[in-house]
Amino acid sequence: MKPPHPGSLATTCLAALTLCCAHTASAAPLYSLAPPQAALARRLAHLQLGLHVGVELAALALLILLLESGLAQRVAHAVAQSSSRAWLQTILFVAALLLLLNGCILLPADAIRHSALLQAGISVQSWPAWLRDQALITLLMLVVGTPVLVLARWLLTRSPRRAWLWFWLASIPVILAAAFVLPQLVEPLFNHFEPLADSHPQLVKQFQRVVARTGTPIPPQRMFLMRASSKVNGFNAYVSGLGPTQRIVVWDTTADRMPADEILFILAHECGHYVLHHLLWGLTLGILGTLLLLWLTFLLAHRLLRLRGHRWRIQSLDSLSGLVVVLLALVLLEILSEPIGNSISRAFEHQADVYAQEALHGIVPDPQTTAVAAFQQLGQAWLEDPNPNPLVVFWTFDHPSIQSRANFAAHYNPWIAGGHPRFFSAPQETPAAGTRNPLH
């Protein structure tokens, strides 16, 4: 086995984009749903797209309304009258703005989504439990978002021309800390975790085979089961954290309801993200992308202020209402840049799919059949549309479509004569024909 390598990011992005946006030439799609399920999946896809676009447009509309109506200025004036301390004024104004955005846009959209998922049988979480989660999300949004915007205003007052650069430098340790420690701090607020070995010791033994094959340094004590069945019927497993905080998490729905071979494929996929340095690539690209986004945000915000500042009665971006202009520019640019981040994410996911099939060669009898079956299970559990619109995939999907992933998996066989596996070059021992993993 040769050491895995990340390969050409540009080549992978192009391959993933082709896979996601082109209709398959296969006469019989490998991922399919029964007609009633397919109809429900299409309705859910349309609803999800409507909510996705609706939230973005509603956020823009609300911010523009605050500026055009003068409400932003009136709230800023009222806050200024309540305290003479600039930092307290900023906290009060920012908290009010975030609560307004959440209460008017995010919370209603999430409620509509939750209701639809309940009716579809994907979600099983009760409304009281859902409201508890939403309260926690709102609290976290205030705890994180308020200091961020307070810092932005302080930097604008200190260095109007270079505020974007200082803000970017301040964001780097926050981004790194989030990657290392936030999964362990935030995730337990919403879900219960326990050692995987307590309930699924045989699965841990199988996981160790994949971990050993891929060289992922995750010992059994960092393999966890997440009790997701109290909220959803969907399947998932993931690797989170970096370095000493890295861990494998398997949902109990996955561990209890999927065949072991298919669980191993999902695990190998997640190990692929680690071995191919996708987490580090993502951090690096995220940090660099944040620099560009902040620079463009401040350029656009200044441009908007020159064009509409007189109409909005806003003198500068470092005023309280100036923060609304900055947010408007940020939201607009994030909408326009969404396909870039999603294309990179899909490229990483495609690489991890390739890696997983190669890693399982010799561990499961037929990696192709295993991968296709796993995608069928995932698609059925989450009711993904078997034929999504290519433009919707390109713009909004951070994973390739299930259909494209299943079709690729079925035809990817680098072990035939003349084939060359991309990440594993040495022949690997293959189980005897007809054998199955003994876990199920």
pLDDT in tens, 398-421: 999 999 999 999 999 998 877 889
pLDDT of residue 242: 77
Q: What was the pLDDT predicted at 429? A: 44
Pairing of strands 237-240, 223-226: unpaired
Cα gap 253→235, rounded to integer Å: 6
* Inside any domain, residue 5: no
Residue 269's pLDDT is 96
* pLDDT at res. 216: 86
Is residue 430 assigned to a domain? no
Q: Which of 233, 239, 242 is nearest to 268 (CA)?
A: 239
What integer best gives the mean pLDDT of the chain?
89
Q: How confident is the model at residue 265 (pLDDT cuts 50, 70, 90)?
A: very high
Q: CA–CA separation, 166 vs 147, rounded Å?
A: 15
The count of domains in the chain is 1
pLDDT at 4: 37
Range of the domain at 308: 33-411
Q: Is residue 436 part of a domain?
A: no
Question: 341-367: per-residue pLDDT in tens?
Answer: 999 999 999 999 999 999 999 999 999
Tell me, yes or no, whether 261 lies in a domain: yes
Residue 435 lies in a domain: no
Q: Quote the tokens at residue 133.
A: 């989660």
Q: Is residue 22 part of a domain?
A: no
Number of C-beta neighbours around residue 308 at 10 A: 15
Q: Averaged over 247-262, what is the pLDDT?
A: 95
Mean pLDDT of 35-40: 97
Instruction: Examine residue 27 and state whether it is found in any structural domain, yes or no.
Output: no
Whole-model pTM over 0.95: no
Instruction: Single out the residue of 339, 352, 403 nearest to residue 376, CA to CA.
Output: 403
Q: What integer pLDDT is reported at residue 110 of this predicted model?
A: 98
Could you tell me the pLDDT band of residue 426, with boundaries at 50, 70 and 90?
low
Percent of the chain with pLDDT over 70: 90
- What are the φ/ψ torsions at residue 315 (nearest 5 degrees)? -85, -40
In a domain, 391, yes or no: yes
Say yes or no to pLDDT of 98 above 80: yes
pLDDT above 90 (res 142): yes
